[in-house]
Amino acid sequence: MPYDREKFKLALSKKKLNYIYNHIKDIKNIKILELGVREGISTSLFLELCEKNNGNLISVDIDDCGSLFKNPKWNFIHSSDENFEIINKQILKIGELDVIYIDSLHKDFHVKKVLYNYYDFLKKNGYVFLDDINWLPYAKFSLLEKKVSNFNDNKRIFKKLLEIKNSNQDNFDLEFLFENSGTAKIIKKSSEKLYEPRKVTKIFSLSEAIKQIFNFIFKKN
């Protein structure tokens, strides 16, 4: 059977969205911020929840996706998700967020920037879901191995999330789903603002330090 790229993409999306849905399906008066719309697959799910649980959805995309749905519970903003002045005002109109879904520009610096802004609007015990944190599907001998940029970007985002967690151990819980291109789940546990990321480094014991010095000396000789 020939490879159908669109069906493959849809299957991947459904698995990840089911993971998200199972965590948020019972939240009443749910307030959702979605960064990245594209074909509207995740938007459709979130609107279904808003209808069921009397919620509101704000979606943001740099492309004009406003004609995808006609729903009074949906506010589409045609803009970069870094347009904080406009988007923050819209969030304030609906109140604290229960869910933030980040699926826009898959670069570690961008993910960090939007996370740190919108996290302040998230309720305690609210969720952040971040798409594309797993680089295994793009590794050598994998189906998508030619997508080298995806490999590198996903790996960097994963590393950045660990660095953010490293400086915010008590502020949120972090969990990873490694199915397909992966999803990260953050649960806000504290009202504290996020501290800046801190690199994850190993502290050498005295014996390890001596071993490193000996290795260095003998390699030079």
Domains of the chain (ranges, CATH numbers) = 5-220 (3.40.50.150)
- Model confidence at 184, pLDDT cuts 50, 70, 90, reads very high
The 10s digit of each residue's pLDDT in 70-116 is: 999 999 999 999 999 999 999 999 999 999 999 999 999 999 999 99
Structure tokens at 155: 């790996």
What does the CA dihedral 56, 190, 201, 178 come to, rounded to 10 degrees?
Answer: -40
The 10s digit of each residue's pLDDT in 42-74 is: 999 999 999 999 999 999 999 999 999 999 999
In angstroms, what CA-CA distances link 85 with 42, 79, 118?
A: 24, 11, 11
- Model confidence at 190, pLDDT cuts 50, 70, 90, reads very high
Please provide the average confidence, as pLDDT, over all residues in the chain. Answer: 87
Give the Cα separation of 200 and 81 in Å (integer): 28
SS3 34: strand
pLDDT for the residue 36:
96
- Model confidence at 3, pLDDT cuts 50, 70, 90, reads very low
Structure tokens at 168: 């915010």
pLDDT for the residue 209:
63
pLDDT for the residue 133:
80
Residue 98, burial from CB neighbour count under 10 angstroms (0-12, 13-18, 19+) = buried
Comparing 91-100, 129-138, 185-194, the range with the smallest average pLDDT is 129-138
Positions of E strands within the chain: 31-35, 56-61, 74-78, 97-102, 122-131, 172-177, 183-188
Is the Cα dihedral 86, 79, 91, 198 positive or negative? negative
The 10s digit of each residue's pLDDT in 149-173 is: 778 888 999 999 999 999 999 999 9
- Model confidence at 10, pLDDT cuts 50, 70, 90, reads low
Sequence-distant (6+) residues with CB within 8 A of 165 are 172, 174
Give the Cα separation of 53 and 50 in Å (integer): 5
Give the Cα separation of 49 and 109 in Å (integer): 30
User: Percent of the chain having pLDDT more than 70?
Assistant: 81
Residue 174, Cβ neighbours under 10 Å: how many? 16
